[in-house]
Amino acid sequence: MMKKIIHTEQAPKAVGPYSQAVQMGDFLFCSGQISIDPQTNEVFTGDIKTQTEMVMKNISAVLESVNLNFSNIVKTTIFLTDMGDFATVNEVYGKHFKEAPPARSTIAVAGLPKGVNVEIEVIAHR
């Protein structure tokens, strides 16, 4: 089984030496997405609701590039710089998982790339 590197112009370019996602068999391992506009490469560090919406849109773009969607996600990890944002992130996140939500971890961190407040990584299965 060979790994396949996934890249789409519809999601932000990697900000380091990593791939947007790696496909291995029927699994897709997506790198953490942050609130970067893929069209302008601009980072948004404003309100947490908008940041989370941008993150979810970027995740969707990576998934769609290999004909998957949120229903294919089996595991997510959310990184937050402030657990006070937990409820707002949950509100936005929950809109994408109406039925059979994936397993999830939420972790408080001291900081995230580019000064953002939320990063989400996912694992999906075909």
Q: Three-class SS string for 71-96?
A: HHEEEEEEEECCHHHHHHHHHHHHCC
Does the pLDDT of residue 1 top 90, yes or no?
no
Domain tally for the chain? 1
Does the pLDDT of residue 15 top 90, yes or no?
no
Domain extent at residue 20 = 3-125
Report d(CA 14, CA 32) in Å as an integer.
10
Cβ pair 26, 117 in contact under 8 A: no
* pLDDT level of residue 19 (50, 70, 90 thresholds): very high
120, 108, 105, 114: which is closest to 46 by C-alpha? Answer: 114
Report d(CA 84, CA 18) in Å as an integer.
30
CATH of the domain at 120: 3.30.1330.40
Does the pLDDT of residue 100 top 90, yes or no?
yes
Report d(CA 70, CA 48) in Å as an integer.
21
